[in-house]
Amino acid sequence: MSPINFSIQKKIPNALGRAGILTTPHGSIETPAFVVVGTKASVKALSPEQVASLGAQVVLANTYHLYLEPGDLRVKKAGGLHNFMNWHGPTMTDSGGFQAFSLGAAFGTNVSKIAKGEKNGESFSEENGEDIALAKIDEDGVTFRSHLDGSEHRFTPERSIEIQHNIGADIIFAFDECTSPKAPRAYQEEATERTHRWAKRCLDFHLEAQPPSGRKQALFGIVQGGRFRDLREESARIISQMKSGDRGFDGFGIGGSFDKEDMNTAVGWVNALLPKDKPRHLLGIGEPSDLFGGIENGIDLFDCVAPTRMARNGTLYTHDGRMNILNAQYREDFSPIEKECRCYTCAHYTRAYVAHLFRAKEMFAATLASIHNLFFIVNLVKKIRRSIVDNNFELYKKNFLNNYYKTDAIV
């Protein structure tokens, strides 16, 4: 039996989108839902109580980061991720592959470079016009260097699952290769096929380590294939039909680099083929227009660092588009960030105060801005869900997007 349960409550007419409820061992998630990112077992600048207060239902931590610091075995000894970080709601971890590939430091003497491109199974940085390998992929796994100290490490599909077992999140992901959108067709094919072989090894290892009676973690398979329709569709078919014994994945992730059009193309192609009764997570996406597009095309879960990262830079969401709180005009603006907003920040503080905290380099600036941005995005997805339940998705989408994007000029 799967440790999670997914039920669909309502569908968007003539589209792939739906509102559902995903039940995990640590509570239920009303979907579609925005998953808050707590990279290193902490949602940056926030307490778990602040995260819960702003409406977040689920937190995703990064396997690559926790493996390096404090180490997955320390998280296990602490009683798992929930106890370690004092977040007792649903949790997820990614597979670590994306960060190993993109953050892993250069092989060789220079360990400060970050991947800029990719070819033939290696990620590269440029130095003096020469490509420097950052991470080496072979059939068995990925060898990479820590971005912290340059030490060499290796992830395989089995190792990624073992680390995720130690961390102990409710939902974990299969180890995949996230290719660059610039990669040529031939490499995309090769990487997608390798991702499928790795997915099978993850599924086998996971079910062997966690037999049916004792399974506490759900495993999501990941669909890749870049922007090629035939590769995406083949990947969706293979991953959704993959079995170890008589059991398959508990849900699905859709990986890759996406832009706005991909919501209607790549995401739609995949979700048209994935089984309707299992949840689907679009990895690393969080722009408002992408949330509407992804949900309409059948996505149930999103995670993205953008709301908190932008918040720490002083960029704040409003229904009229983004604003930069560091603009001089806000120094004497004693209204809240957004008048109608019901977040903690807008209930108690003015634009002038938030602007002051940023100028004074006070840490509380990041806290207040992160609360506002996460509240905005988490509740935007909740309102989209409500519109689906109320049979009102198209109108809500039109109104929101018209308003949000008409005034981009104030950014």
For position 85 contacting a second copy by CB under 8 A, the verdict is yes
CB of 363 to a second copy, least distance (A): 4
Please choose, out of 26-34, 97-105, 169-177, 347-355, the segment that lies near a second copy by the rule CB under 8 A.
Answer: 347-355
CB of 78 to a second copy, least distance (A): 6
Q: Helix 229-241 crosses helix 185-209 at what angle (to 10 degrees)?
A: 10
Please identify, using beta-carbon distances, which residue of 227 and 372 lies nearer to a second copy. Answer: 372
Residue 218 structure tokens: 């759900």
CB of 316 to a second copy, least distance (A): 18
What backbone phi and psi angles, to 5 degrees, belong to 409? -60, -25
Residue located via tokens 């409550």: 9
Do 362 and 349 form a contact (C-beta atoms < 8 A)? no
CB of 255 to a second copy, least distance (A): 25
Give me the helices (H) in 150-286, please: 157-167, 185-209, 229-241, 260-264, 266-273
Do 293 and 264 form a contact (C-beta atoms < 8 A)? yes
Q: Classify strands 251-254 and 280-282 as parallel, antiparallel or unpaired.
A: parallel
- Single out the residue of 197, 348, 383, 406 in contact with a second copy (rule: CB under 8 A): 348
Which 129-188 residues touch a second copy, going by CB under 8 A? none
Q: Which of 72, 170, 176, 303 is catalytic?
A: 303
- Single out the residue of 7, 9, 27, 69 in contact with a second copy (rule: CB under 8 A): 69
Which 36-65 residues touch a second copy, going by CB under 8 A? 40-42, 44-47, 50, 65
DSSP state string for 32-93: SEEEEE-TTSS-TT--HHHHHHTT---EEE-HHHHHHTT-HHHHHHTTSHHHHHT--S-EEE
For position 74 contacting a second copy by CB under 8 A, the verdict is yes
Please choose, out of 135-143, 252-260, 287-295, 346-354, the segment that lies near a second copy by the rule CB under 8 A.
Answer: 346-354
Output b/e per residue, 377-391; b: 16+ Cβ within 10 A.
bbbbbbebbebbeee
- Single out the residue of 214, 363, 402, 409 in contact with a second copy (rule: CB under 8 A): 363
Give yes or no: 94 in active site: yes
Residue 332 structure tokens: 């004497």
Instruction: Show the binding pattern over residues 364-383: x = contacts a second copy (CB under 8 A), - = does not.
Output: x-xx----------------
Do 230 and 193 form a contact (C-beta atoms < 8 A)? no
| CB count in 10 Å sphere of residue 178 | 22
Q: Which of 94, 170, 250, 290 is catalytic?
A: 94
Task: Give the count of residues interacting with a second copy (CB under 8 A).
Answer: 36
| Contacts of residue 349, Cβ cutoff 8 Å, sequence gap at least 6 | 336, 368
Which 302-341 residues touch a second copy, going by CB under 8 A? 331-332, 334
- Positions marked catalytic: 94, 303
Name the site residues for a second copy (rule: CB under 8 A): 40-42, 44-47, 50, 65, 69-70, 74, 77-79, 84-86, 331-332, 334, 348-350, 352-353, 355-357, 359-360, 362-364, 366-367
